Amino acid sequence: MEIFPISLKLQQQKCLIVGGGSIAYRKAVLLQKAGAIVDVVAPEIEANLLEIVQQSSGQFLQHAFTESDLNCPYRLVIAATDVPEVNRLVFVLCEQKNLLVNSVDDIPHCRFMVPAIIDRSPLVISVASNGSSPVLSRQLRTQIETLVPQGMGALAEFSGQWRKRVKAKISNPDQRRVFWEELYASPLKEQVFAGNTETADLLMQQALDNWSIPKGEVYLVGAGPGDPELLTLKALRLMQQADVVIYDRLVSPPILDLCRRDATKIYVGKARSNHSVPQDGINALLVEYAQQGMRVCRLKGGDPFIFGRGGEEIQELFASGISFQVVPGITAASGCSAYAGIPLTHRDYAQSVRFLTGHLKEGSPELPWKELVYENQTLVLYMGLVGLERICQQLIAHGQRANMPVALISKGTTPEQKVVVGTLQDIASKVEAHQIQAPTLTIIGEVVTLREQLQWNERK
């Protein structure tokens, strides 16, 4: 994050604009809306800008900018002339005086940026790009405008009127946040939008009167194979309201960034022969935090019920009497194969697909080898990289042809995705040559040959 977004209170605060033209006018409009006293220094001034200066009880200083114009204790300064040298001078002098300064469309000479604004006062939403793409910021503002009802301002005002009473009733800030979130999901919001303030006040009072300390809950959420755009809407909603996020190694950083910023985040990642927290410890953490009344998001790569031990975790929750929800995720077999351009089934090549774990047990993969040797079938192996050579040998030994196509998909659906194709006979030798790393999904079957035609993700 290259800039730190803040919201300034400028009511009755003196601000200076250097420049008297149309650019200065646009900035003056925003400052006046924020309640600032707007001074303008310029040799000439447009009539509409002069009107804003007068309405804000500011002054028009009719002369070229000089250093003495900064003697007044201004909160911020905007350089909005069409003379780059003047704008640079304003910036240099403001820096010496530690004044916040913005030079319009001149990024190197800005200490703050003016964002694109969605105004639902008292709710204000801003979009900024560090000055690199103001047009894109305005386009995003337009999109957000359509998503934020005009009534949101009234809802923010209504909430402010009740804030002290809610705080007096519910002193714990985490519990108070839950109260507001549940309230905004209730019919009260629509009553405020419709202007039915009496009904809204009644519903608010009832909610406060009936409030009780919330019980903890656990959300078992599938985070998918890595691409954050593959998250479900429900997964995203629960991730953003959880008080605690317990996540594993396969959850990508961009996905973790979508969780609530102030949530407690606990890493319990598991790598082969290196479990930072054993499964019993994870189960205990879920129970412990939920019993404290917190909403816990157990964030797992892929789908929690496909080789994710999600069933074991919710068994523990059930035994402890803790409420839980399960949110399916796109499993690695589906997501990675799609991004690699390999359909798992195809009418001409495979009429069935089997998901298997290649995880070693006592040094050897234990799989029903005879059942796996079938021509028109796709095999998908999770966690099979370490035992890959042994798996290929066993399949060939039990009758599978040595030239059966195989694909390795490393870090599928992410920008680091790598796909290597071979056969049962030679795929193991390609792991080191191509520096294939976990997590890697293995696909065995004739459908792998379709990748040459269907690898859409690598042609973008």
CATH number (domain holding residue 345)? 3.30.950.10
413 lies in the same domain as 321: no
Report the C-alpha gap between 13 and 11 in whole angstroms: 5
305 lies in the same domain as 345: no
227 lies in the same domain as 194: no
- Mean predicted confidence (pLDDT) in 95-100: 95
37 lies in the same domain as 96: yes
Q: What are the distances in angstroms from CA 99 to CA 84, 87, 96, 103, 297? A: 19, 14, 8, 13, 44
Note whether residue 173 is domain-resident.
Answer: yes
**CB of 410 closer than 8 Å to CB of 387:** no
Q: Identify the bridge partners of residue 267 per DSSP, sorted by sequence position.
A: 247
Percent pLDDT > 70 in the chain is: 97
Note whether residue 125 is domain-resident.
Answer: no
Give catalytic status of residue 270 as yes or no: yes
**CB of 299 closer than 8 Å to CB of 251:** yes
Please state the pTM of the whole predicted model: 0.75
How far, rounded to the nearest angstrom, does the alpha carbon of residue 435 sit from its chain's CA centroid? 30
CATH number (domain holding residue 204)? 1.10.8
| Catalytic site residue from 189, 248, 300, 303 | 248
Task: Give backbone dihedrals phi and psi of 132, rounded to 5 degrees, phi first.
Answer: -80, -25
188 lies in the same domain as 245: no
What per-residue confidence (pLDDT) applies to 174?
84
The answer on pLDDT for 100 being more than 80 is yes
Q: What's the pLDDT tens digit per position in 159-169?
A: 999 999 999 99
180 lies in the same domain as 252: no
When mean pLDDT is compared across 3-7, 61-65, 108-112, the lowest value belongs to 3-7
CATH number (domain holding residue 251)? 3.40.1010.10
Note whether residue 4 is domain-resident.
Answer: no
Q: Render 224-287 in DSSP notation, one character per residue.
A: BSS-GGGS-HHHHHHHHH-SEEEE-TTS-HHHHTTS-TTSEEEE--EETTEESS-HHHHHHHHH
What per-residue confidence (pLDDT) applies to 116?
85
The answer on pLDDT for 348 being more than 60 is yes
The answer on pLDDT for 131 being more than 80 is no
The answer on pLDDT for 339 being more than 90 is yes
When mean pLDDT is compared across 26-35, 128-137, 225-234, 324-333, the lowest value belongs to 128-137
Note whether residue 48 is domain-resident.
Answer: yes
CA Rg, the chain, in Å? 30
235 lies in the same domain as 322: yes
Mean pLDDT of the chain: 92
Note whether residue 139 is domain-resident.
Answer: no
Give catalytic status of residue 265 as yes or no: no
| Residue 270 banded pLDDT, cuts 50, 70, 90 | low
Among residues 330, 352, 368, the one where a domain terminates is: 330
> 176 lies in which domain range?
152-209
354 lies in the same domain as 454: yes
| Catalytic site residue from 33, 265, 270, 430 | 270
**CB of 19 closer than 8 Å to CB of 62:** no
Q: How many domains does the chain have?
A: 4
What per-residue confidence (pLDDT) applies to 363?
53
Note whether residue 1 is domain-resident.
Answer: no
The answer on pLDDT for 303 being more than 70 is yes
What per-residue confidence (pLDDT) applies to 78?
97
| Residue 34 banded pLDDT, cuts 50, 70, 90 | very high
CATH number (domain holding residue 95)? 3.40.50.720
448 lies in the same domain as 346: yes
Report the C-alpha gap between 110 and 88 in whole angstroms: 9
Question: Between 339 and 150, where is the model more confident?
Answer: 339
Note whether residue 159 is domain-resident.
Answer: yes
What per-residue confidence (pLDDT) applies to 256?
95
- Mean predicted confidence (pLDDT) in 35-44: 96
Question: Which of 56, 45, 54, 48 has the alpha carbon at shortest distance from 13?
Answer: 56
348 lies in the same domain as 453: yes
| Residue 275 banded pLDDT, cuts 50, 70, 90 | low
The answer on pLDDT for 274 being more than 70 is no
110 lies in the same domain as 157: no
235 lies in the same domain as 291: yes
* Long-range residue pairs from 139-142, CB within 8 A, at least 24 positions apart, any chain: 140/116, 141/116, 141/117
Among residues 308, 330, 352, the one where a domain terminates is: 330
The answer on pLDDT for 114 being more than 90 is no
Q: What angle, 0 to 180 degrees and rounded to 10, lies between the N-to-C axes of helices 279-291 and 310-319?
A: 40
Note whether residue 380 is domain-resident.
Answer: yes
Q: What's the pLDDT tens digit per position in 351-366?
A: 999 999 876 555 566 7
Q: What's the pLDDT tens digit per position in 44-82?
A: 999 999 999 999 999 999 999 999 999 988 999 999 999
Among residues 169, 189, 209, the one where a domain terminates is: 209
What per-residue confidence (pLDDT) applies to 97?
94
